[in-house]
Amino acid sequence: MMKSLLDTIHSPEDLKELSLEQLRQLCAEIRAKIIRTVSSNGGHLASNLGVVELTVALHRVFSSPDDKIVWDVGHQSYTHKILTGRCDRISTIRTQGGLSGFPNRQESPYDPFSSGHSSTSISAALGLAKAKDLSGEKGHVVAVIGDGALTGGLAYEGLNNAGRFKKNFIVILNDNKMSISRNVGSMARYLAQLRTEPSYFRFKGNVEKILDHIPGIGPHLQMALTRSKAVLKQILYNSTIFEDMGFYYYGPFDGHDIERLIEVFSNVKNIDHPVFLHVLTRKGKGYSYAENDPGAFHGISKFNIETGKSYSSASINFSSVFGHCLCGLAEKDPRICGITAAMKSGTGLTEFARRFPDRFFDTGIAEEHAVTFCGGLAVGGMLPVFAVYSSFLQRGYDQLIHDIAIQHVKVVLAVDRAGIVGEDGVTHQGIFDAAFFNTIPGITVFAPSFYDELDLCLRTALYQVPGFAAVRYPRGGQLFRPYDFRPSGRAFDLYGEKKTETVIVTYGRLFSFACLACSELNRKGDRTAVVKLNRIKPVDPEAVRQASGAKQVFFFEEGIQQGGIGEHFGFLLGQAGFAGKFYLRAINDFVAHATMRQALEALGLTENGMLQMILAERAK
Contact yes or no for 521/528 (Cβ under 8 A): yes
**377: enclosing H helix or E strand:** helix 367-379
Terminal Cα distance for the chain, rounded: 67
Type of residue at 250: Y
b (16+ CB within 10 A) / e for 560-591:
bbebbbbbbbbebbeeeebeeebbbbbbeeeb
> Residues 520, 569: contact at Cβ < 8 Å?
no
Active-site position among 31, 283, 475, 585: 283
What is the C-alpha to C-alpha distance for residues 454 and 589, in angstroms, rounded to an integer? 28
Distances in Å between the alpha carbon of 85 and those of 54, 78, 111?
Answer: 18, 12, 12
Active-site residue flag, 89? no
Catalytic one among 86, 395, 417, 509? 395
367 is catalytic: yes
Cα 545 to Cα 523: distance, rounded to the nearest angstrom:
26
| Nearest Cα to Cα of residue 122 among 80, 157, 174, 168 | 157
Residues in the chain: 620
Instruction: Reply yes or no on whether 137 is catalytic.
Output: no
Other Cβ atoms within 10 Å of 596 Cβ, number? 18
Q: How far, in Å, CA of 249 to CA of 246, rounded?
A: 9
CA dist 45 and 416 (Å) reads: 22
Neighbours of 227 (CB within 10 A): 9
DSSP state of 84: I
For every residue of 439-487, DSSP letters joined together read TSTT-EEE--SSHHHHHHHHHHHHHTSSS-EEEE--SS------TT---
Cα distances (angstroms) measured from residue 558 to each of 472, 505, 571, 603, 617: 12, 12, 18, 9, 20
Catalytic residues, by residue number, are 283, 367, 395
